[in-house]
Homo-oligomer: A and B are copies of this chain.
């Protein structure tokens, strides 16, 4: 029985048990053999998520240069239109300048010592043997380049955070396998008492809100920025730089601070979610994508806007990137598959993500500020 047949039988069984008709779920074009081997178990079909296009968006990155059309898969009405408006403002202003400040995926494993004295001895040994441990990780992947191992001790608990580059893959699987392998070696070779307790001890930290990733970064740390001339702010966003700065200051900074948030922005997560679904990324990484800063300032008479995203975890190989629609979406951006040298496609993608998030912030802050202005106008009109 082929994999497609298995999918059909399973779907029909669910239809029977639950008394439903799953015609749409059963309507798809993706390569079932591939997806059942790599992406999904107990497959019954697909979710079809509407995909729209925003752009063109001019990006001035190190790798992403030129105008891009951005695929966004979402069911939230108005999101694509809003991002599109931001793209227009950016492109008319000469595009978004983008930087990838850092590039590392991380895995924070957990060891358990009977007490802190033993934990400290263990950490000393690990630091002395750091090179050998990093060598060990290479046995499991030729693309993985561990740069360093950070460590923390609390009581008898030890976290080692492996940090490294993973080419064009997002790299979670790669680093998990490699760090587990290295940690088994550590456990076997360390002369003292130690237990390798868990392959993840939440100092990675993966798919959870955290100050750790905001402060130290995870995946790609990206900044996108632009100066939007006053007339473009007025014409495209229907407001003024001053109004946008006022809204961003009170909402993104003071409001988020009061909420005890790590998301000092308007809606990073909306854009990240729509891109990650469209482009075959691990959608749970929207969590980290929601962290970061969206800052607006008046420079001269114009608007300077920047977004700083500490943790953009993306890849162009592995995960969902090889599936039919997702691969096509990556091709729209010119970043499908592995780059030469490895890593440049994923980094280019991160740059485009950063620029699109900036477009989204400009549009939403602009809309909030315009309403305010609109009200002011309305009030004047009432008189």
The answer to whether the Cβ of A23 comes within 8 Å of any Cβ in the partner chain is yes
| Bound: A270/B208 CA distance, A | 10
Q: Within residues 132 to 176 of chain A, which ones have a CB less than 8 A from any CB in chain B?
A: 152-157, 159
Q: Which of chain B's residues have a CB closer than 8 A to the CB of A225?
A: 115-117, 155-156
Q: Which of chain B's residues have a CB closer than 8 A to the CB of A324?
A: 23-24, 27, 48
Q: Give how many copies assemble into the complex.
A: 4
The answer to whether the Cβ of A286 comes within 8 Å of any Cβ in the partner chain is yes
Shortest Cβ gap from A379 to chain B (Å): 8
Known A-B contacts A41-B52, A46-B48, A155-B308; the reply to A203 vs B258 at CB < 8 A is yes
The answer to whether the Cβ of A8 comes within 8 Å of any Cβ in the partner chain is no
Q: Within residues 276 to 313 of chain A, which ones have a CB less than 8 A from any CB in chain B?
A: 277-278, 280, 282-284, 286-287, 290-291, 293, 295, 297, 299, 304, 306, 308
The answer to whether the Cβ of A92 comes within 8 Å of any Cβ in the partner chain is no
The answer to whether the Cβ of A51 comes within 8 Å of any Cβ in the partner chain is yes
Q: Give how many A residues have a beta carbon under 8 Å from the other chain's beta carbons.
A: 152
A75 touches B323 (CB 8 A): yes
A277 touches B269 (CB 8 A): no
Shortest Cβ gap from A154 to chain B (Å): 5
Shortest Cβ gap from A73 to chain B (Å): 4
Encode A107-134 as 1/0 by CB contact (under 8 A) with B.
Answer: 0101010111100100000000000000
Main secondary structure of the interface of A (DSSP, over half): mixed
Given A39-B74, A156-B225, 8 further pairs, Cβ under 8 A? A42-B80, A75-B319, A76-B284, A152-B215, A197-B247, A205-B259, A215-B260, A253-B257
- The one of B22, B99, B154, B270 in contact with A258, judged by C-beta atoms closer than 8 angstroms, is B154
| Bound: A41/B251 CA distance, A | 27
Closest B-chain residue to A223, C-beta based? Answer: B116
A273 touches B286 (CB 8 A): yes
Q: Which of chain B's residues have a CB closer than 8 A to the CB of A223?
A: 116, 153-155
B253 touches A39 (CB 8 A): no
Shortest Cβ gap from A23 to chain B (Å): 7
B155 touches A202 (CB 8 A): no
A308 touches B49 (CB 8 A): no
